[in-house]
Structure 1
Amino acid sequence: MLCCSLWGNDDCDWVSLPAAGSSGGILSIWRKSLGFIVFSFKGKRRLWNDILMTKNGFGDIVWCVVGDFNSVIEVTERRGVASDVLSHPSREMMEFRWFLEDLELVDMPLVGRQFTWFHQNGVAMSRLDRVLVSHDWARLWGNPNVWVDDRDVSDHCHLILRYDPADWGPKPFRFNNFWLENKHFTDLIVNTCESQNFTGWMGFILKERLKGLKLAIKRWSLEEYGKSEERKKMLVDSIKALDTKSEIVGISAEEVETRKCLFNDLYFHARVKSRRKSNSILALQTANGVTEGSTNVRQAAMSFFQQRYSNDEWARPNLDGVVFPMLSKENNSFLTAPFTLEEIERVVKDCDGSKCPGPDGFNFAFIKEFWELMKFEVRILFDQFHGNNCVPKCLMSYFLTLIPKVKSPQSLDDYRPISLLGCWYKLLAKVLASRLASVIGTLIPKTKSAFLKGRQLVEGVVAVNEVIDFAKKFRKDCVILKVGFEKACDSEDWGFLDYMLGRFEFSDKWRAWMKACVCEGNLFVLVNGIPTEEFQIKRGLKQGDLLAPLLFLLVATPFKYLGLPVGANPHKVSTWEPMLDVIRGRLGSWGNKYVSLGGRVVLLNAVLNAISIFFLSYWKMPVKVWRELVKIQRKFLWGGLSNHAKTGWVKWDDICRPKKEADLGLRNLLAKWRWKLLSHDHEVWKEIVTAKYDGDIIGKLAIGEVDVPRTASLWWQDICLLDVNGGWFRLAVGKKVGMGDSTSFWNEVWIGSQSLRQRFLRLYSVSTQQNEVIQSMGRMASGRWQWVLAWRQERKFGVFTFGICSLSPSVGTIRGVCVFKCLEECGAVQSLCVLLATAIGSDPNKG
């Protein structure tokens, strides 16, 4: 009777495990009459609704839901099925994701296997079985591990819920930026530095200084803030107190804002814990089977990367028969010039202060704050490096953190290794990378569009897609070869790198610097935040070191899949489904229980809009996709992604208006390519476009004047459509003449709002200088510019002469450049966004 009373009726059955000693017992109760229709979507909906009603009926208690849901939440959870099933998420998939979000439970990652169900054909497999736990479950009893056991006669694998009591060890020190807001923190750092007295090489002194500061900060933080769990408990108690007060007597506006801030703190705390759990490595699939346990997993990780970064000597081929460009003497002198304090300070200023620290534990937020205290010692460190061509070994240790590449990683091949460097070596590498980036463009061909300033990855996508479009339209034979480098940076041979530096004629001093930076280093692998034992690397480039991508350019051509399907039709919704699926998945992982409305606005602007930027930088979004994206954003803003109706308290058109107009400032983006076509820089994608369409499109403010062939690609048609509906781009952009050597006198808009050819067509028809630039239309005489205009017959100039007589090209060396006309108010990008918001409003057909 007790179980029936707990359940609420007698339609139940149960099984129990009694308590043993200090360990509590388990009572499991379920409804006997609950039916499950395996293949019916309607039946699944009914089951999901029953589970939701049951959970809501019991209230806010600890939950763990285990079972075969017979549904997946994303296409990556299936394999071996028809390609059309994997191409885009189904309605069932989306509704199942909404169901999991409404449950507000955490979907635990799997250990041991990626799939839990296998078809009898041995090809099709899916992840149908899940373990869902509430945040309170993990808070009270810790995070469980969901092991996928081997199957026998069943087509499903067993799921085993286990706990990992292993002690992974103490975590290394990490600087917290919020310490800088404490008024006593500056005095602590200054007093500690003044009490220190070290001698020796400056690298050793700086390393010991940070070591002493680390100990002092630890003691101070423990006294000042206490433990984080105690602070979290205080936040929860504060929320409960405000909730109780609001139910009885109401709370003030100030207390309402306080509660919102506390909820946001809890939300981000929950997100950090959830991310930490999903990134944790509890077991690994190795050649010897599944490895588990803290000691065994750490040893397996260490052995794996020791082997990856080892180097077997063998007779490597060389490239003696290939001709390479050579670095000039001037550039070599620039690279190896003495370091200046101004150069170092400029790099420090540009560094992101929120990046993860290396073994020393300090990020650049700390370095920036106390730069005046340390800058002269840092200058000495750079001078010693310049003179001795070596980096102190105490600065060359670094962490290797592992980022999952898939949802449920099984082996170390499923992780992406990223290097976390010490702050002093990172500063040195950034200064050297800044110098190298300034000259490497003279050595790297224009066909390479990655890792170089002024070149963008998506330029390669444009070039390849235009070639494929041409081959399809005109039925031409075409061969596309994609070369993939497996573990490219990790397998880089140091001897070959030095050989290539020599072939490019880098100086001996620079080559010695690169050997000191690249060919040295001791590595710790971070497993669940805990470092393994230190070991030495013998090959590879550090992913995370700014020198790595630039040096990689000198030995290989990077060509990677950029997330944009090559040759796809951007007008089909299925092309955009991967982007929409990522957005839905990201939103589904955010618990709306903790985040306030203001927090959701921040997340929409900072995270969601950024996901779609890469697609929009090349393709114009179809209206149907735009509406679906707005629908997703609107649902999340007003409370979540579930299928239940949500009340929108502000019109979406108003939400998307700029903040200066008293709205929320959410932005709805191809004009970048139009902007790049205004410059005369030689780029491969421009050469392809001009060869396909018109050689006279470079530098034109109005491409709409150019005839668009019917065989043009969809991308080029969308580019040309920017001049339709008023030609907002032409109105927004003007041209500064400069010396006048790159601006057409008659054909470009450089005075007024039209070209001189458009305004004075009769004069243009009798001019003998129709294709001349401004600079060749006159000369300097007695320090003043005089126009020299040539005509086929004499004319009275009138208004024409009056309009240009006061204008003259610059006598300096500034080339003509295109600028936004409204730069005085704000930056170029923001100016363009404001203009678009005014011009198109919420109608996607206009944009």
Structure 2
Amino acid sequence: MVKKHKVKLLFLQETKMKEITATTARDLWHGGRPTWETLEADGASGGIVMMWDQGTIEQLKVEKGRNYKNGKLSQYMGQPLMQQGGDFNAIRSPSEKKGGRRTITAAMTNFQSFISDHELIDLGLSGGAYTWTNGRKPPILAKLDRFLANQQWLDLFGASSNSVLTRIASDHNLILLETQPNSWGPSPFRFENCWLLEDEFIQGLQQWWEELEVNGTRGCQFSQKLKGLKGKIKIWCKERKLNFEKERTDILSMLDTFNQKEEQQDLDIFEEVERDKLRREAEKLDTQELIYWRQRAHYKWIKEGDLNSKLFHMIASHRRRINRINMLQIDGQTITKPEVIEETFVKFYKDLYEEEDQQRPFPENLKVTVLKEEAAQSLIEPFTEEEINTAIFSLSGDKALGPDGFTAEFYKAGWEFMKNDIMNLFQEFYDDGITSDSMGSSFITLIPKKEWAAHPKDFKPISLVSSHYKIISRVLASPLKRVLGQVISKHQSAFIQGRQILDSAIILHELVHQYSKKIERGAILKLDFQKAFDKVNWCFLDKIMEKMGFPQQWRRWISSCISSARFSLILNGTVKSYFKSSRGLRQGDPLSPLLFNIVSEGLCAMILEGQEKGWLLDLSIKNLHVPILQFADDTVLLCQGTNEQMLNAITVLNLYQIASGQNINWEKSSMLGLNIEDELEEHMRSIIGCPKMILPSTYLGLPLYQGRATKQIWNNVIERCQKRLETWKGKFLSHAGRVTLVKATLARIPTYYLSLMECPASVVKKLEAIQRTFLWCGSDNLFKYPLEKSALWRQVLDTKYGSTQNKWLPRKCSNSTMSSLWKGIMKRAPEVIRHIRFHVRTGTKVNFWTDAWIGQNPLSISFPAVFHLSLNKEVKVSSIMSNNILAGRDLQLRRDLKEEEVIQVAELVQLIDSQYMPSSGVDEIIWAPEPDGEYTVASYYKLSQPTASPSPSGTYHIWKLIAPAKKFKVNLCMPASFQFLIEQWSASPLPYWGKILWKATLAAIPCIHGLPPLPLPVLKKFWSSVVHFTAPKPPNMVQWKPPLPPLVKLNFDGSSIRNPGHAGVGGVIRDSAGEILMAYSGPAGVCGSNVAEAKALLTGIKLLKQLQITSVEIEGDSQLVIGWARKPGSAPWAMRSIFDEIHDTVRDWRIAWMATPRSANSLADQLAKVGVSANGLNTSQSLQQIL
């Protein structure tokens, strides 16, 4: 081993030897004369030997001892390099152990704390997951041996990696640490976004692009231009030689020179200008370095505001290290030579993307949903400049680069001068599809699916497509997303607008809970498709699309996109090999997830046909049947628990595999029997050849369990949070950056679980120990409930538990009938319901008394006495609002009113009469805390968070002791009269400019004695510039302009005292001659300025309707209100009824909406202010009568 791997330092533990002789040392070292140190064994245990090559390691200080403890107090200018390795006899989490109990122990927590406290990073392992075995049957395996290093070590040895070597005699594996891995060759061209900060580079880009002369199709021309531009950029890079460290050192040196000079004497104006220029250069350099490393980090949670290139450097180093491939294990043989590793990968992926049978049989009578005609036509509309521009600017600028090496930031920066070429490219694609081989080329980058990836199948292939193909794919994906929900069944929940990953998880959990309380047999088959995306048959996809009614031109485009795929492998940063594909969808192509949904619909259609014909009997809740659940390639089949049903299911799956090219990996699939005898379940599993699913298991990353959720279920959450935080050290982040990291960790890991389960208190404490602040989210699905009435998960819950009469909310059930999942969600129901409001349009779905549809509370709370008299307490709003009795509304009361009750009824009738009821539309549920009424997790966080976040103990006292007291209300200016201030502001600036001129003169002429003064023409020119610069500018006052004949113009305004407070409305309607047709002014109650503006607009529109004017310009000084009026449905929910009435009134009018400065709206503003104190609405053609 020493000779094979050219080991320079060898460390052996548990030698059980008293001493080591020179002969033994040479035998261990396989010849040569090593240097060594030993620590003798204590009886039959212990013993350490450390050997090293004196020629490589020139200096090594060794300290040793039994139960060794050594304390030193040293002061470093920086953190020292630290690397620790050996048998720690501890693991960090249950995932580092196989066999035995899988609980988080105190020893694990302590070891994790040791790593975190010392800011160490686990270097990971390749070639195996465990390093120790107890040698029993069944064995217990664990990762007891490892190498740990701090960031300073990794800065120097960034490519460090360690591998598990073969275990022979010992119960521990040998661990090999390598700091200088093999070189794999040069890296491909990469466009650096930091270049775009160089002004000369931007100018050069446009010049180079326009100079390039190319031939061929438009696709070929575009590809050739990118290739030619790449050559120009490489030349520029050689000349520019961007070196952050050297340039920063030079700039700082020059800044120091200026600063030191300033300590001795004042800098002249030219030196100050030069110093400012250097400071800007330093800032630009820092930003460029930040962009450089952020582009390599690929982390979305990091914001540009956290200007910390060191952090990005660390992330990028971590990514390179975990993605580096140093060895493979094929058929028990370890491969370390780069050329053999390359050959192995190329053969594996050539075979993977090569279709064995191009013409597979297709089930011609397959029943699928057909796309609507208008939806189909929308897919093949000509491409517009707007949608292409939107696609480009929606792409992430830091994403991994394809074969051409260009990023989305390049296209954003060059859009104006590249626009015509891009439009020509799209026009050719519209006519002929993809015409350039280079456009379809892709890099395959390999992402390890597990820490010890050692075989090509252990890596996930991600395609890095060319930049111009990605733009085309993004443009095609947008309309496909909009229509795909029409043809994809409700059993699929991936990549469809309005469907979420949690939908399938809820359904499966409820089915398991339902069948655990029944005597009926059931079977759940969780399928694992082998390389699902990579084995899709293109003909099968095309025929499914044809059956779904996709236009032929669309199908031709898709066929062109997927069949143009050509691959090169990226191995350790270098490009290897080149081959074509004949099947598969590229992971990394925006189209691929959507197209895979279409492929998966083939399986769903087959299963549903089997259900319809009666030879596939699925699981059900009452009369609701659920035969299959799909989320991308995660598929669960549900059937009754008999041998016959299992054989029928396998038959359907085999037909699907033959037709689509998909392969099921039965060894990784699993089966769960529900109420099935062990012998029968064993026989059923033997039929299909898959293992048993043991609960708790996982589905879509969430636990699947029966009964109560135990602490063990949360082990994975705690472990993932720890791993998420271990690599990112707080010292590299600002305070805001650390907050962002904590939020990102919470949002991506625990809240996913919390969406379905309630967290035990002990787990909360552990999470708080990791993150200090815990954000609760348990109600998302409850709020989704009224919004997704047709969703399969909603139908499952309705069938199982029922719903309220108006179908807005789930019905309350006894705890004994609810699953633990639904019980946890319903526990938060009162808190969520308290913040729900209803926006009424027809009122057929909203309860008049018990739903909060007008005001802040339900009317049953606002008018309890009248509610008590109501005969029908479940009456709908539509029933009350449609019954208009002479004296008011028919409230359907059970007796005549008493004198004191008459007043309450009158107030109630007045309130509901003020509510506008649109003539059409649907009732909406509103999340009151958000202005737009849309529920967001962040909004719920804010409500459920305490007013002050918990902070580490002692922080307050530290700041109390160290920080100086803040001073408030310090008068920086002495009191002065208004007249004095006017005089100061009006004073001549000439003395100031005279001083600048004098300083410039002194700087230009070191010694002015005996020299002629500055030439008179220069002084005159300078003086005229000063006078021009300081001349008073007239105020920019916009005047009211009359409309063009025959139009009239409505100007409106609202005024609110103290905002919110007593408010007024005002406005004026004038013709093209400026004559007043109607002016109005009146009170608007107590409200904010935006509501007052909206009420003023509504009042003006009602007056226009009375005057029978329908062609009008409407002008106001509130851009928000004008924007809401232009776009129906965009107003905040609290003002939606006002704008509903506005939009219903002006539906057939001709209107020009215009926002104007207040100076052009002064008359309406004056009328609104008068209206605040008015007794009622005043209207007149004469202003004198109102004002």
Give deviations 1:249-304, integer Å, cap 9, x for gaps. xxxxx9xx99xx99943343233223211210011122482222222212211111
Map of 1:381 onto structure 2: 425
Give deviations 1:36-74, integer Å, cap 9, x for gaps. 978xxxxxxxx9997785798898655554433333333
Single out whichever of 281-290 and 679-688 deviates more from structure 2: 281-290
Picking from 108, 132, 141, the partner of 1:117 is: 132
The alignment partner of 2:314 has SS state of: helix
Return closer, same or farther for 1:773/1:37 CA change in 2, 3 Å cut-off.
farther
Whole-angstrom CA distance in 1 between matches of 2:248 and 2:759: 43
Return the offset for 1:517. Answer: 0.9
The amino acid across from 1:465 in the alignment is H
Which runs of 5 or more structure 2 residues have no equivalent in the other structure? 1-17, 27-31, 47-63, 255-278, 291-305, 601-629, 636-698, 952-1187
Return closer, same or farther for 1:479/1:438 CA change in 2, 3 Å cut-off.
same
Give deviations 1:286-339, integer Å, cap 9, x for gaps. 248222222221221111100111111177443233321111222211111111
Q: In the alignment, does 2:296 pair up with 1:188?
A: no
The alignment partner of 1:402 has SS state of: strand
Map of 1:718 onto structure 2: 824
Picking from 746, 749, 753, the partner of 2:852 is: 749
The structure showing larger relative contact order (alpha-carbon pairs under 8 Å, at least 6 residues apart) is 1
| TM-score, normalization by structure 1 | 0.80
Return the offset for 1:771. Answer: 5.5
Map of 1:3 onto structure 2: none
Whole-angstrom CA distance in 2 between matches of 1:303 and 1:293: 16
Map of 1:93 onto structure 2: 108
The amino acid across from 1:688 in the alignment is V
Q: In the alignment, does 2:761 pair up with 1:623?
A: yes
Whole-angstrom CA distance in 1 between matches of 2:20 and 2:83: 18
8 Å CA contact 2:838, 2:926 repeated in 1:
yes
The amino acid across from 1:626 in the alignment is V
The alignment partner of 2:553 has SS state of: helix
Map of 2:777 onto structure 1: 669
Map of 2:95 onto structure 1: 76
8 Å CA contact 1:460, 1:685 repeated in 2:
yes
Whole-angstrom CA distance in 2 between matches of 1:145 and 1:308: 29
Q: In the alignment, does 2:416 pair up with 1:278?
A: no
Whole-angstrom CA distance in 2 between matches of 1:768 and 1:732: 27
Q: In the alignment, does 2:151 pair up with 1:131?
A: no
Map of 1:614 onto structure 2: 752
Return closer, same or farther for 1:538/1:237 CA change in 2, 3 Å cut-off.
farther
The amino acid across from 1:266 in the alignment is K
Whole-angstrom CA distance in 1 between matches of 2:250 and 2:25: 35
The amino acid across from 2:436 in the alignment is P
Map of 2:715 onto structure 1: 577
Single out whichever of 487-496 and 600-609 deviates more from structure 2: 600-609
The amino acid across from 2:390 in the alignment is R
Single out whichever of 299-308 and 604-613 deviates more from structure 2: 604-613
Map of 2:346 onto structure 1: 302
Equivalent pairs, count: 758
Map of 2:668 onto structure 1: none
Single out whichever of 833-842 and 745-754 deviates more from structure 2: 833-842
Return closer, same or farther for 1:752/1:51 CA change in 2, 3 Å cut-off.
farther
8 Å CA contact 1:745, 1:774 repeated in 2:
yes
Return the offset for 1:487. Answer: 1.1
The amino acid across from 1:174 in the alignment is R
The alignment partner of 1:555 has SS state of: helix
Give deviations 1:493-545, integer Å, cap 9, x for gaps. 11111121122122211111111011221001111121211100111111111
Give deviations 1:90-115, integer Å, cap 9, x for gaps. 22223223334455555444343333
Give deviations 1:744-781, integer Å, cap 9, x for gaps. 43442201233345555776687787666544555699
Return the offset for 1:403. Answer: 0.9
Single out whichever of 411-420 and 102-111 deviates more from structure 2: 102-111
Return closer, same or farther for 1:673/1:93 CA change in 2, 3 Å cut-off.
same
Give deviations 1:340-367, integer Å, cap 9, x for gaps. 1122222223222222121111222222
Q: In the alignment, does 2:232 pair up with 1:216?
A: yes
The amino acid across from 1:507 in the alignment is P
The alignment partner of 2:599 has SS state of: coil
Map of 2:800 onto structure 1: 692
Map of 2:368 onto structure 1: 324
Map of 1:808 onto structure 2: 916
8 Å CA contact 1:98, 1:588 repeated in 2:
no
Q: In the alignment, does 2:739 pair up with 1:601?
A: yes
Return the offset for 1:414. Answer: 1.3
Percentage identity across aligned positions? 28
The alignment partner of 1:110 has SS state of: coil
The amino acid across from 2:439 in the alignment is L
Map of 2:171 onto structure 1: 155
8 Å CA contact 1:697, 1:706 repeated in 2:
no
8 Å CA contact 1:774, 1:809 repeated in 2:
no
Give deviations 1:356-384, integer Å, cap 9, x for gaps. 12111122222223222222322222221
8 Å CA contact 1:13, 1:29 repeated in 2:
no
The alignment partner of 1:482 has SS state of: strand
Return closer, same or farther for 1:448/1:140 CA change in 2, 3 Å cut-off.
closer
The amino acid across from 1:738 in the alignment is R
Whole-angstrom CA distance in 1 between matches of 2:70 and 2:738: 26
Whole-angstrom CA distance in 2 between matches of 1:472 and 1:237: 75
8 Å CA contact 2:926, 2:933 repeated in 1:
no
Picking from 176, 190, 197, the partner of 2:213 is: 197
Map of 1:243 onto structure 2: none
8 Å CA contact 1:71, 1:96 repeated in 2:
yes
The amino acid across from 2:130 in the alignment is F
| TM-score, normalization by structure 2 | 0.58
8 Å CA contact 1:741, 1:816 repeated in 2:
no
Return the offset for 1:596. Answer: 5.6
The amino acid across from 1:584 in the alignment is Q
Mark the structure with the bigger radius of gyration: 2
Map of 2:791 onto structure 1: 683
The alignment partner of 1:332 has SS state of: helix
Which runs of 5 or more structure 1 residues have no equivalent in the other structure? 1-10, 19-23, 39-46, 239-253, 635-655, 657-665
Whole-angstrom CA distance in 1 between matches of 2:850 and 2:227: 65
Whole-angstrom CA distance in 1 between matches of 2:756 and 2:249: 48
Return the offset for 1:435. Answer: 1.0
Whole-angstrom CA distance in 2 between matches of 1:337 and 1:699: 39
Q: In the alignment, does 2:189 pair up with 1:173?
A: yes
8 Å CA contact 1:177, 1:366 repeated in 2:
yes
Map of 1:427 onto structure 2: 471
Whole-angstrom CA distance in 2 between matches of 1:691 and 1:625: 33
8 Å CA contact 2:509, 2:821 repeated in 1:
no
Whole-angstrom CA distance in 2 between matches of 1:50 and 1:217: 61
Whole-angstrom CA distance in 1 between matches of 2:69 and 2:567: 48
Give deviations 1:574-632, integer Å, cap 9, x for gaps. 21110101112233334556556554333223345432221122223222222211111
The alignment partner of 1:131 has SS state of: strand
Return closer, same or farther for 1:140/1:443 CA change in 2, 3 Å cut-off.
closer
Return the offset for 1:735. Answer: 2.1
Whole-angstrom CA distance in 2 between matches of 1:458 and 1:478: 22
Whole-angstrom CA distance in 2 between matches of 1:441 and 1:575: 34
Q: Summarize the alignment of residues 561-576 of structure 1 with structure 2, pairs less than 5 Å apart.
A: 561-567=699-705, 571-576=709-714
Q: In the alignment, does 2:242 pair up with 1:226?
A: yes
8 Å CA contact 1:740, 1:816 repeated in 2:
no
Return closer, same or farther for 1:444/1:305 CA change in 2, 3 Å cut-off.
same
Whole-angstrom CA distance in 2 between matches of 1:336 and 1:289: 53
Return the offset for 1:400. Answer: 1.0
8 Å CA contact 1:678, 1:698 repeated in 2:
no
The alignment partner of 2:817 has SS state of: coil
Map of 2:972 onto structure 1: none
Map of 2:558 onto structure 1: 514
The alignment partner of 1:353 has SS state of: coil
Map of 1:835 onto structure 2: 943
Return closer, same or farther for 1:800/1:833 CA change in 2, 3 Å cut-off.
same
Map of 1:587 onto structure 2: 725
Query: RMSD over aligned Cα, in angstroms?
Result: 4.1
8 Å CA contact 1:335, 1:435 repeated in 2:
yes
